[in-house]
Amino acid sequence: MAFDDLKAELALLINQMENQPEDRHELYLQIRERLNEMRAFGMPLPEDLVKFEEELEAQFKAEEKAAKK
């Protein structure tokens, strides 16, 4: 997949997340998958999306920890 195609797909996923916040976990997984594809091809990663991925992951971990209490 071309770099521009990946960027466009990631932008679409972000847009979907804004419109459907109840599906944020699924979108997180899709963003993570696309970023992993970019990593596998040695492509540069958009720093804002990497940070976004990390923030979502931290939120999910915090929610999981709170649910275990």
Cβ atoms of 30 and 52 within 8 Å: the answer is no
Please give the chain's pLDDT, 69 residues, in tens: 577 888 888 888 777 767 665 677 887 888 888 899 999 999 999 888 898 899 989 998 999 899 987
DSSP 8-state class, residue 69: -
Here the contacts of 37-41 (C-beta below 8 Å, separation 24 or greater) are: 37/1, 37/6, 38/3, 38/6
Domain count, the chain: 1
User: Hey, what are 58's tokens?
Assistant: 């931290």
**pLDDT at position 19:** 65
Q: What residues make up the domain containing 13?
A: 3-68
